[in-house]
Amino acid sequence: MTEKFTPDPTLNGQVNNTFVKDEYQPLGKEVYIKAADMMSDKGYKEAYLGDTIRFKMKRDKKRFWAGDNISDYVSEQDKEKLIDEATEAFETVLDRLLIDRENDPNSHGTARRLAKMYFNEIMAGRYEPTPDATAFPNDSEDRYEGMLVVRSELRSMCSHHHQPVSGVAYIGIIAAQKLIGLSKYTRIAQWCARRGTLQEELCNDIAREIEKATGAKDLGVYIQAVHGCCENRGIMAHSSLTQTTVLKGAFKEDGNTKKEFFDNIKLQQEFAPR
Ligand SMILES: [Zn+2]
């Protein structure tokens, strides 16, 4: 059987306009590899390390959302290779955005800068293990029993738009049987923040990690932050502020404790406005 067709000029400039269908088959865009070869060393060498790690996490049913810590699956050496792989992917994004990354001096090297920034800075909290927070006993007779409120400056990124989120967390606890160094509250909060998050989720994450590190059951976390995704795009709201609160134990159940926490926050804000 004979059919008329128009050859692709870039590939088949010389071909005339008729062909015998049975003698041709379409050149597919997908390339296949034998499943058995994928499992061999050869297959792995050609695959991306990032795919291998994703495969392992799926196998283990480990969640790897933008706000999840996956440090158990990523070693320091892996990070270098993952940055190389992400560089390649960001190069493709720039190409698709029609940015001349070869001739534009400001776009030259941007793909690698982006890859390094994601792994080492704005999403570092996904790949680094929990910060060390040595606990000191607080169980003697004159133990500290009061409220402790720490102000922690935060930089984060929303997982919806990858736009910056910046703000402050106020972390309050009633001291339990152990205490951690004051700077550790902020280290833990920043470790939670340096991921792709939602503010609501971040507030919960900080409360959970502070509870783990201090053993305190009575605690509160209040965050106020501005979101790049509301300021730079969408509704372009320049002075919008988002506030979230997580309260546990006495902070939730006892009105006086709750009031003391928020009074302390007001005093903090007089001392250091946002
Ligand atoms: Zn957003």
Q: Where are the alpha helices (DSSP H) in 19-158?
A: 35-39, 41-46, 49-59, 76-96, 110-117, 124-127
pTM of the model: 0.81
How far away, in angstroms, is 164 Cα from ligand 1 center?
Answer: 8
Amino acid (one-letter) located at 183: S
SS3 27: coil
Confidence of residue 9 (pLDDT cuts 50, 70, 90): very low
Task: Say how many C-beta atoms besides its own lie within 10 A of residue 185's C-beta.
Answer: 27
Q: pLDDT over 90 for what percent of the chain?
A: 71
How far away, in angstroms, is 160 Cα from ligand 1 center?
Answer: 5
How far away, in angstroms, is 199 Cα from ligand 1 center?
Answer: 10
Give the mean pLDDT of 151-165: 96
Q: Which of 19-23, 47-51, 116-120 has the lowest mean pLDDT?
A: 19-23
How far away, in angstroms, is 43 Cα from ligand 1 center?
Answer: 38
Report the C-alpha gap between 253 and 245 in whole angstroms. 14
Tens of pLDDT, residues 99-141? 999 999 999 999 999 999 999 999 999 999 999 988 889 988 8
Confidence of residue 207 (pLDDT cuts 50, 70, 90): very high
How far away, in angstroms, is 227 Cα from ligand 1 center?
Answer: 7
Amino acid (one-letter) located at 25: Q
How far away, in angstroms, is 185 Cα from ligand 1 center?
Answer: 26
The predicted structure's pLDDT at residue 27: 52
Q: Are the CB atoms for 220 and 253 separated by under 8 Å?
A: no
DSSP bridge pairs for 136 = 179
The predicted structure's pLDDT at residue 180: 95
Contacting residues for 114 by C-beta, under 8 A, at least 6 apart:
86, 87, 90
Amino acid (one-letter) located at 259: K
Q: Are the CB atoms for 210 and 254 separated by under 8 Å?
A: no
Confidence of residue 29 (pLDDT cuts 50, 70, 90): very low
The predicted structure's pLDDT at residue 25: 58
The predicted structure's pLDDT at residue 164: 95
Does 28 have pLDDT greater than 60? no
- Which strand (E) or helix (H) includes residue 255? helix 255-271
SS3 271: helix
How far away, in angstroms, is 243 Cα from ligand 1 center?
Answer: 15
How far away, in angstroms, is 194 Cα from ligand 1 center?
Answer: 15
The predicted structure's pLDDT at residue 61: 94
Does 11 have pLDDT greater than 80? no
| Residue 260: closest CA among 151, 173, 178 | 173
When the pLDDT of each residue in the chain is averaged and rounded to a whole number, the result is 88
Report the C-alpha gap between 244 and 186 in whole angstroms. 17
Q: Are the CB atoms for 138 and 179 separated by under 8 Å?
A: yes
Does 13 have pLDDT greater than 50? no
Tens of pLDDT, residues 77-106? 999 999 999 999 999 999 999 999 999 999
Distance of CA 142 to the CA centre of its chain: 42
How far away, in angstroms, is 234 Cα from ligand 1 center?
Answer: 9
